Amino acid sequence: MPAVSDSALEGEKPDVLIIGGGISGASIARELSRWNINILLVEKEPDLAMQASGRNDGEVHPGIDLSKGSLKHYYIRKGNAMYGDVCKELGVDFRRVGQYVCFNEGWAKPLISLYVKKKKYIDKIEDSEVISGKELLRREPNFSGGFKFAISNPSTGCVCPYGLTIAYAENAVTNGAKVMLNTAVTGMKVENGRITEVTTNRGTVYPKIVINAAGVFSEEIARMANDRFFSIHPRRGTNSITDKKAGVYMHSVASIKELARSTGHTKGGGILHTVHGNLLIGPDAVETSEKEDFATYPESIEKVFTRQKKTMPALSERDIITYFTGVRAPTFEEDFIIEKGRKTENIIHVAGIQSPGLTTAPAVAKDVEKMAVEMLGGAQKNPSFNPVRKPIPQIRNMSDEERAKMIEKNPDYGEIVCRCEEISKGEIIDALNSPICVPTVDGVKKRVRPGMGRCQGGFCSPLVTKIIAEFLKSPLSEVRKSRDGSVITYGATKGRNSDE
């Protein structure tokens, strides 16, 4: 629960109330902002993408493990195909890097080739093909030489998942939606099968319709709406992130499939070259009873790392710079729930959105947009809708001439604050001036990356803290790492001023 309690939203009457600021809620808000309707998105955390949407691999999956019949399968190819255009419009880096599922057992090649034919022609995962071990090594020379063959899916991509969530939400806001962080839905009044009131820690709101995109808590929201027909059983996944110097070892997404050791859920993890040039090793899949169990256990890292070294022996634990854990939100049926309420009329559930929920989000958002507009009885188009979001310039990716021009216009772009990631003061100030300002060290880190490199903020955090304090015109001691209570400095020492 957020610490704040006020009446900032008291009496608001949005057409659509979206609960949850992950990729599901943010993408739906953006698609709905194409219409002339009043949209309110509430997120209980102090920033967007604080739960699954900020704690995942960022893989835009091909769907090779999905079969016809599920909603996951229905949305995966549509979502995957939309990524190029969506990321271009929203100014988010996206690359189709390709995926390899690698096999050591040569005897299985005829069987796997049949499986791939089924995937390609029946399940319509059309980019699937089998390639030889030799071809795999030609494409990824640092992989183990022992692989006999691999399933290749060139449509696989990688994207920054929190970057995309923030971009979707920012574009929604510039098109008229309202996003309220630190705002938790705590209860609802349901009368004659309709939600009439929604209580939050910032006041009571009176929405026409509610969209439940609350991730692992979507069952609690369904219960509040008197419409709970599913339950979520949370599943943890842990990833290690390596230094960018390990990123040169490979450029795709890869995993090893050991037929003799296969378990139900895929999860011995894999290796993924991120859009920023690091490697991600993981995730595993461990059932947990705790929905916000973001702890990282050494055994998770060790298990996945040991396994992935078989794919690429060059991997070294010494290259790990940090790690994180995310919690998936599966239902017992292991499929998405994207439907109108069964007992309550004016709610749409976007629940059970476990993997590949990042991949499917653009396509799911389009369908939920249609459902919501229909539920409202139609709406006028938003005449000033602009699908394009201008991204913050990335000095590190510019040529010397481009940098010089930027610095001439604004010398802050010439002051490098984060040396690992080459982030300038100008970019940090841009992040603070962005449409959804989150003036914390983590808020800035998520938007422009200071602190994401090898030193993990050891050198730049004090400087970032100072820039935030100057922006807020407040003492250093008031800047927070991420949320209320995450104090960075307590006050002045040795007789100095508190902002020195």
Ligand X SMILES: Cc1cc2nc3c(=O)[nH]c(=O)nc-3n(C[C@H](O)[C@H](O)[C@H](O)COP(=O)(O)OP(=O)(O)OC[C@H]3O[C@@H](n4cnc5c(N)ncnc54)[C@H](O)[C@@H]3O)c2cc1C
Residues classed as catalytic: 61
Does 64 participate in binding ligand X (rule CB under 6 A)?
no
Which span (18-26, 167-175, 378-386, 451-459) binds ligand X, by CB under 6 A? Answer: 18-26
Per-residue tokens: 227: 């419409």
Does 22 participate in binding ligand X (rule CB under 6 A)?
yes
Does 301 participate in binding ligand X (rule CB under 6 A)?
no
Does 171 participate in binding ligand X (rule CB under 6 A)?
no
Pick one of 99, 300, 355, 424: the residue that binds ligand X (CB under 6 A). 355
Q: How far is the CB of 86 from ligand X (least distance, A)?
A: 13
Which span (15-23, 299-307, 394-402, 406-414) binds ligand X, by CB under 6 A? Answer: 15-23
Is the Cβ of residue 182 or residue 465 nearer to ligand X in the bound state?
A: 182
Does 130 participate in binding ligand X (rule CB under 6 A)?
no
Tell me the HSE value of 373 on the side-chain side, using a 13 A CA sphere.
Answer: 20
Say if residue 397 is exposed, middle or buried (CB neighbours under 10 Å; 0-12, 13-18, 19+): exposed
Say if residue 277 is exposed, middle or buried (CB neighbours under 10 Å; 0-12, 13-18, 19+): middle
Is the Cβ of residue 354 or residue 461 nearer to ligand X in the bound state?
A: 354
Does 21 participate in binding ligand X (rule CB under 6 A)?
yes
Q: How far apart are CA 389 and CA 391, in angstroms?
A: 6
Helix (H) or strand (E) holding 75: helix 71-90
Which span (312-320, 352-360, 370-378, 421-429) binds ligand X, by CB under 6 A? Answer: 352-360
Which span (119-127, 241-249, 350-358, 379-387) binds ligand X, by CB under 6 A? Answer: 350-358
Pick one of 33, 51, 153, 344: the residue that binds ligand X (CB under 6 A). 51
Does 17 participate in binding ligand X (rule CB under 6 A)?
no
Does 269 participate in binding ligand X (rule CB under 6 A)?
no
Does 55 participate in binding ligand X (rule CB under 6 A)?
yes
Residue 300 identity: S
Cα 329–Cα 209–Cα 360 angle in degrees, nearest 5: 35
Does 252 participate in binding ligand X (rule CB under 6 A)?
no
Q: How far is the CB of 77 from ligand X (least distance, A)?
A: 13
9-30: buried (b, 16+ CB within 10 Å) or exposed (e) per residue?
Answer: beebebbbbbbbbbbbbbbbbb
Does 330 participate in binding ligand X (rule CB under 6 A)?
no
- Cβ atoms of 191 and 173 within 8 Å: the answer is no
Q: How far apart are CA 185 and CA 409, in angstroms?
A: 44
Does 357 participate in binding ligand X (rule CB under 6 A)?
yes
Beta-carbon contacts of 465 under 8 Å, excluding residues fewer than 6 positions away, are 441, 476, 479, 488, 489
Pick one of 99, 153, 359, 434: the residue that binds ligand X (CB under 6 A). 359
Is the Cβ of residue 96 or residue 425 nearer to ligand X in the bound state?
A: 96
- Cβ atoms of 68 and 122 within 8 Å: the answer is yes
Pick one of 18, 37, 39, 42: the residue that binds ligand X (CB under 6 A). 42
Does 213 participate in binding ligand X (rule CB under 6 A)?
yes
Pick one of 12, 15, 17, 25: the residue that binds ligand X (CB under 6 A). 25
Beta-carbon contacts of 199 under 8 Å, excluding residues fewer than 6 positions away, are 185, 186, 187, 188, 189
3-state secondary structure (DSSP) of residue 398: coil
Pick one of 46, 163, 234, 326: the residue that binds ligand X (CB under 6 A). 326
Does 46 participate in binding ligand X (rule CB under 6 A)?
no
Pick one of 31, 43, 123, 335: the residue that binds ligand X (CB under 6 A). 43
Per-residue tokens: 394: 């990335």
Measured between alpha carbons, how far is residue 197 from residues 41, 185, 189, 226, 243 in Å? 15, 11, 5, 13, 49
- List the interface residues with ligand X, window 304-323 (CB under 6 A): none
Does 62 participate in binding ligand X (rule CB under 6 A)?
no
Q: In terms of DSSP bridges, do strands 99-103 and 185-191 run parallel, antiparallel, or are they unpaired?
A: unpaired
Per-residue tokens: 309: 């070294």
Q: How far is the CB of 373 from ligand X (least distance, A)?
A: 20
Does 184 participate in binding ligand X (rule CB under 6 A)?
yes
Residue entry with tokens 């169990």: 293
Pick one of 61, 119, 307, 449: the residue that binds ligand X (CB under 6 A). 61
User: Which residues are near ligand X by CB under 6 A?
Assistant: 19-25, 42-45, 50-53, 55-59, 61, 184-185, 213-215, 217, 237, 283, 326-328, 353-359
